[in-house]
Structure 1
């Protein structure tokens, strides 16, 4: 079995290059002198009450309460730890291990192509497969990750936003599922769903107890299919293996970095936990010449090899290069997602055997301790199933509806004149299909697509009978006199007030709207309204004349540069918004237009901070002459003085 027990304190390493990520047991940031953070595992069925009572009585703290295994993480005075072992039902007591992180950057990108994943993408990109990244979190606003990000949890800060403030987890996530959008990088499974489980903080520090909580989360949330752990421990830790077993028994494929503690000569057994566990696929690293990376751990428990040297992937704010078995592991996790997408019923055991059988041998025939069963080969492992289709009729019950829209996932078709439709090229699996047409209510149904067959799914749509409403009212000034010529706008439509300040907007569809009255010399006045079918909604306005104090201006636009070897890679544009007496205006929405050498290069909007400034960052901006013009400024209670001064800068 791939399981060893030891009483030695565990040392864990995130596998992002030799010595780059590294766990130590003693110097724990939130421990007080004379206290230790430990994990207590109980026999199955034993209540945790006695443990909690003991910890509270001794002045300790409960740091984590596990469900996946019967246990807790606690802090206690060192002199009180021995007393825990004497309590009834205590199975194991061991240290909670701290994690430290530090990245490096290298060059070259080649991994996805090398394992053949790109050739699979035409028919399979891992859609509907959920992959959990147990790491430092994910920078989920990244343009190559935001469409695939589905959420997760931050076990460091105990909140639901597992934002990566280190970079390691984002790099791993990009290898797994960076979007195929013709920019940046592409992941092994570019349509897989990503879940971030943050167990390490901004400095790369965390605890084994956080990893156990993350495994617990995977078993109870999100219907996780694959787990990637680019981290490891030199020896076993209390409760760690039990938690991994529970996740594996829940049908989750678990992949982990083998470790960066290999010897130059490739001798010895240096595979680390959790990769050592029987339930986990242990992944070593090779370079672009298919040669074992000198740091990659070796031994009889190594299962597969994957690219792990000079890997380009996502990092917060852009892209970066990293090396390590941390980078190799997500190539296998992404390939597992592709296999599951093409063969949803395959078991973790069968999937692992398929990966072994299809791997490219790099060493002696069969298994060896340097490369395991060989280099993961997505092209061979993912056998595309014959596509199926969904077809049928869209009708109103008596006749077909031509021009109806029928949608499932990313595929949309329009029905023919007789109401018939067909959605082809669908991978086998379950689909949710929606049909809609103008003047009709939409309808949604489910269909199961079988390889090489067409599934029939008909829709009957009911006509919509909706009477429009109207909006009317009067716009007055502060003296209650009607104001003529005021523009009243709603949902893209506008009308003007008459001589007495009254207005009328007929034929408005029922719904919720923001109605705005605006006129020169007055502060715009928006109001939220609801329009009901066959009813008139009255909305009156009182406009306030603009005072000098209510005027805001863009006082200045400054330029600066940052990034790159010379500090000039990125261009920073910073407008300053003030009122008429020079006071900074926060929460103002500023819209700008930037031209490069006379042609529009960038447009965007952002909100000012407390200093009245807002930063627009143009990443990797080319050299040339830049000119910036403010197109609009919006702030509650203020009116923008429409100054279109052009601010120039030569980069």
Structure 2
């Protein structure tokens, strides 16, 4: 989806429907011509002759994901898909709307900075702008930090638009060795490739793991390691080949958690009953399930359309990726009054978290209703940007969206794994199902508001369910302190 549009949406009252979500060597460098295709094989393997078959059909094999039976190809041939489907080993194939897979010549600063050496110890929330972080107080993160800021053994991936690897509040926790760009479906670890094109990824990254270093803000899990996995093109699209690459990367590099504050293009909802869309849906689903099977906890934003995602406008066969894949922790947004944010999607929500609400939930603690987090210095002239005056390059911005809510839960997941990870032979992870159960089981119950919600406005909706679980808040608001204490009492 377009990030330019997203940035405008996040700063305007009328939030629309957009949100902001391998280790094998690349087979061939992608060309700038033709269309990109997701090729879905029957079974979880790519045949050894895939490159030849794709070439004979008029295409080029760009990347092969043998663990999930998916390949990325490019072709200029109008008959490429129909020719491929003559091979009985291929279940389906789909163009990703003709967007050229191109690892453009990227210029920018490169860096070889070590990951900061913070201990697995309590963290202090006394940074310059900590007093402006109503969101952290609302989820009891500041109290949780008195017990732990997270473990250096925990690795979190932010699957987003990249991040500003120079930002002084992110550098102490940034894991350069595990950061990459997946744009085009091929990993590229040059820091210039995974630099942030829009600010969105830098903002989500700070909420997850900005360091407790005396400047700016403190993230939800300020001691864990953080890696960027860039999946957004410079124009702001999150295409299937990049999303697939990202989840396989996280699975095969031993990540503990990923944050996914996006939906995967080319469709707001992928309709499983459409043959071509089904190929994209199933390929992405395989990648996500593979990551879950390898111990990666996956957190995703619910979306900003004020939709009942259980009954989307396109029909019940249409789903959002990654948030509607089974096993993913889905996060809705609320504001400082702990009510659903006017834009937040609802139904099939695990928990709610602060995403901000600049229309209906302005309070003394949240005077503009939005969430403050890190932002690239190159975008310092954007609206609602502030600077820590003592530190060059330390810029921060207020934004709202379910994109801002999900990173809080990602950070809490990292704290939970830091506390309860069983250090087993499979990457030392706590299993994703257990992490999800702890987060859901320790959330603060939030009842439905009086119905209808926001009557007489374009955001009028109805909440279904009780305080234990309902369509607006899921199991309730995430609570970092209760989660790390594993306090499931009510």
Give TM-score, length-normalised by structure 2.
0.67
3-state SS of the aligned residue for 1:163?
coil
3-state SS of the aligned residue for 1:197?
strand
The alignment status of 1:334 with 2:334, answered yes or no, reads no
Shift of 1:369: 1.0
Cross-structure match for 1:149: 174
Shift of 1:45: 5.9
Structure 2 counterparts to residues 493-504 of structure 1, below 5 A: none
Structure 2 counterparts to residues 512-523 of structure 1, below 5 A: none
Cross-structure match for 1:90: 90
Structure 2 counterparts to residues 433-448 of structure 1, below 5 A: none
Contact 1:31-1:37 within 8 A present in 2 as well:
no
Cross-structure match for 1:304: 351
Q: Kindly provide the CA deviation profile for residues 393-439 of structure 1, in whole angstroms up to 9, marking residues without a partner as x.
A: xxxxxxxxxxxxxxxxxxxxxxxxxxxxxxxxxxxxxxxxxxxxxxx
Q: Which of structures 1 and 2 has the larger relative contact order (alpha carbons within 8 angstroms, sep 6+)?
A: 2
Contact 1:48-1:71 within 8 A present in 2 as well:
no
2:188 to 159, 169, 193: 159
3-state SS of the aligned residue for 1:120?
helix
Structure 2 counterparts to residues 322-471 of structure 1, below 5 A: 322-345=399-422, 346-363=430-447, 364-383=466-485
2:376 to 316, 324, 330: 316
Cross-structure match for 1:131: 156
Cross-structure match for 2:278: none
RMSD: 2.9
Shift of 1:212: 0.9
Structure 2 counterparts to residues 128-277 of structure 1, below 5 A: 128=152, 129-151=154-176, 152-156=179-183, 158-160=187-189, 161=191, 162-221=194-253, 223-233=254-264, 234-235=269-270, 237-263=281-307, 269-270=311-312, 272-277=320-325
Q: Kindly provide the CA deviation profile for residues 7-40 of structure 1, in whole angstroms up to 9, marking residues without a partner as x.
A: xxx99997984447579xxxxx9875xx532201
Cross-structure match for 2:460: none
Shift of 1:203: 2.7
Q: How many residues align?
A: 357
CA gap 1:246/1:60 in 2 versus in 1, 3 angstroms: same
Shift of 1:88: 2.5
3-state SS of the aligned residue for 1:138?
coil
Contact 2:46-2:64 within 8 A present in 1 as well:
no
3-state SS of the aligned residue for 1:341?
helix
3-state SS of the aligned residue for 1:191?
coil
Q: Kindly provide the CA deviation profile for residues 348-391 of structure 1, in whole angstroms up to 9, marking residues without a partner as x.
A: 21221111121112222211111111110111111189xxxxxx
CA gap 1:78/1:51 in 2 versus in 1, 3 angstroms: farther
Cross-structure match for 1:408: none
Larger fraction in helix:
2
3-state SS of the aligned residue for 2:171?
coil
3-state SS of the aligned residue for 2:79?
helix
- 5+ residue gaps, structure 2, are 21-29, 101-131, 273-280, 313-318, 357-369, 378-394, 423-429, 448-465
Instruction: Give the Cα separation in 2 of the matches to 1:94 and 1:120.
Output: 46
Cross-structure match for 1:113: 137
Q: Kindly provide the CA deviation profile for residues 564-589 of structure 1, in whole angstroms up to 9, marking residues without a partner as x.
A: xxxxxxxxxxxxxxxxxxxxxxxxxx
3-state SS of the aligned residue for 1:55?
helix
Shift of 1:268: 5.7
Give TM-score, length-normalised by structure 1.
0.51
Contact 1:94-1:238 within 8 A present in 2 as well:
no
Cross-structure match for 1:54: 53
Shift of 1:57: 3.0
Cross-structure match for 1:294: 342
- 5+ residue gaps, structure 1, are 1-9, 24-28, 100-107, 386-651
3-state SS of the aligned residue for 1:254?
strand
Structure 2 counterparts to residues 631-642 of structure 1, below 5 A: none
Contact 1:126-1:337 within 8 A present in 2 as well:
yes
